[in-house]
Amino acid sequence: MTDPRGHWSGRIGFILAATGSAIGLGNLWKFPYITYENNGGAFVVVYIAAIALVGVPIMMAEILMGRRTQLSPVGAFKVLATDRPGGSAWQGVGWLGVLAGFTILSYYSVVAGWTIHYTWLALTGKLATLAADPAVLSAYFGNEFLASGPQQTLYHVLFMALTTGGVYFGVKGGIERVAKILMPLLFSILVVMVIYSTTTSGFGEAIRFLFKPDFSTLTKGAVLEALGHAFFTLSLGMGAMLTYGSYIGKQISIPRAALQISLLDTLIALMACVIMFSIINTSGIEVNKSATILFTTIPTVLVKLPGGGLLNALFYILIGFAALTSTISLLEVVSSFAIDELGWSRHRATVTMGGVITIFGVLNALSLGGNSALTSINLIGRESTQGVFGTMDYLASNWFLPVGGFLIALFCGWILNTATTRKELEDGHGPLTGYGLWRFLIRFVAPLAVGAIIVSVILGKEYQ
């Protein structure tokens, strides 16, 4: 009964861990911000279509590859591509995934670290003082907090330590356990905040903004942004879902799991929007649509509400929890590569990889100081290539994830034979009536849509 790689305890463990990977800063920070920027309604419709038509099929593809091989991305491609067109060159997709995990984690953990600082600020009452004047809080955030190398380093290192701890204790004992504790908590805090937001006067307007589409305001850039974000938010394109899928057994239905994970991820993203837009509308403050809303505007509004101090603290704890289950999955992709391909023990792999990424991330953290702040930070990457931080983000989000996703779709749609993919999708599920639909989406719709992102990036017209 040796199980050197580890397995989830069952379906719930897997769903919670994978949902934990998907739900993160992408949902709570990035999605509300880009929805706001792209005028709500119609953007939300396109985003949901991108999740359903591109995200879900690629997630099924990743999980099936993982379960089939019981290996992380490099090994999975190596095994599945044997005797197929392209042969061992396909393992390059796995390498790209490892590189993406390394790169994203090295800046994601810096932002995640801010939630520790903000929780502390909220609990000690300092945030209330700063947030009394929006200009003071903005200045504090940009000129003092971001500009402080030691502070940026400290919180990043702390967050990486938590992340490494989660991965160190293994699939069931670490990753799953953290997700099983944090995900229900996260969900509960969100529900409390949604209920709270229904009592605010800005709630109705928030709902109209989100769910009343006006397609005349939709731009081509917004469509590409929705598509790119679908990737990031579902943790697709770098083998995170493939790796998590390599720890499941045959009794689990892959189509059902992919649908559930995607639904939960979308639900949480929409809940985050309801909360934030209700708060913003209620405040009457003219909010500039910048990426810093979460750390500059939201607290100024929250402190004015009854119970604001506590709400603020809850809010940052929530974001920190969500980020942690995502950083754990990023480190798991890198560590499982060392475990499967280099034959390292889990402890050695986690500590070494966690350590190297921490050091690399310190460079990112330090590159923030003095930078005129968050124009360079963009979780799915847009125009910005300022500084090390911006460059990491730009590379990962504009290149690694879309290219990885594109190749995964091609591989599962065109290289793997139908007998393999059908069997894997039906094991644990039974006859799959939607198989033809999945195959159509993975062969045509997903590559074309993702190809559009890649071409737009090459032409330098991304997300205008």
By CB under 6 A, how many residues form the interface with ligand PFF? 15
**Contact assessment for residue 232 and residue 382, using Cβ atoms and an 8 Å cutoff:** no
Report the residue from 16, 17, 18, 22 that binds ligand PFF according to the rule CB under 6 A: 22
CB closer to ligand PFF out of 332 and 341: 332
Question: How far is 64 from 427, CA to CA, in rounded Å?
Answer: 10
The residue whose two tokens read 């059902």 is 256
Residue 21 in the binding site for ligand PFF (CB under 6 A): yes
How many residues appear in the chain?
464
| Stretch 327-366 residues interacting with ligand PFF (CB under 6 A) | 329-330
What 3 state SS string does 122-176 have?
HHCCHHHHHHCCHHHHHHHHHHHHCCCHHHHHHHHHHHHHHHHHHHHCCHHHHHH
Question: How far is 205 from 274, CA to CA, in rounded Å?
Answer: 10
Q: Which residues contact 85 (CB under 8 A, 6 or more apart)?
A: 415
Residue 26 in the binding site for ligand PFF (CB under 6 A): yes
Interacting stretch for ligand PFF, rule CB under 6 A, among 23-31, 77-85, 132-140, 277-285? 23-31
Stretch 87-126: interaction string toward ligand PFF, x if CB under 6 A: -----------------x----------------------
The residue whose two tokens read 């861990």 is 17
Residue 233 in the binding site for ligand PFF (CB under 6 A): yes
CA 433, 437, 443 angle in degrees (round to 5)?
Answer: 140
Kindly state the greatest CA–CA separation across the chain.
Answer: 65
Report the residue from 44, 240, 293, 446 that binds ligand PFF according to the rule CB under 6 A: 240
Residue 24 in the binding site for ligand PFF (CB under 6 A): yes
Task: State the minimum distance, in angstroms, from the CB of residue 378 to ligand PFF.
Answer: 13
Interacting stretch for ligand PFF, rule CB under 6 A, among 20-28, 47-55, 163-171, 337-345? 20-28
Report the residue from 235, 246, 283, 312 that binds ligand PFF according to the rule CB under 6 A: 235
What 3 state SS string does 228-297 have?
HHHHHHCCCCCCHHHHHHCCCCCCCCHHHHHHHHHHHHHHHHHHHHHHHHHHHHHHCCCCCCCCCHHHHH
With CB atoms as reference, the residue minimizing the distance to ligand PFF is 26
Report the residue from 80, 238, 257, 317 that binds ligand PFF according to the rule CB under 6 A: 238
Task: State the minimum distance, in angstroms, from the CB of residue 326 to ligand PFF.
Answer: 4
Residue 47 in the binding site for ligand PFF (CB under 6 A): no
CB closer to ligand PFF out of 6 and 239: 239
CB closer to ligand PFF out of 127 and 189: 189
Stretch 294-333: interaction string toward ligand PFF, x if CB under 6 A: --------------------------------x--xx---
Task: State the minimum distance, in angstroms, from the CB of residue 379 to ligand PFF.
Answer: 7
SS3 374: helix
Question: How far is 300 from 306, CA to CA, in rounded Å?
Answer: 13
How far CA 57 is from CA of 176, 373, 396, in Å, comes to: 24, 37, 21
CB closer to ligand PFF out of 27 and 39: 27
Q: Kindly write down the DSSP assignment for every residue of 412-449, as one continuous string.
A: IIIIS-HHHHHHHHHTTT-S-TTHHHHHHIIIIIHHHH
Task: State the minimum distance, in angstroms, from the CB of residue 201 to ligand PFF.
Answer: 30
Point out which residues bind ligand PFF (CB under 6 A): 21-22, 24-27, 104, 232-233, 235, 238, 240, 326, 329-330
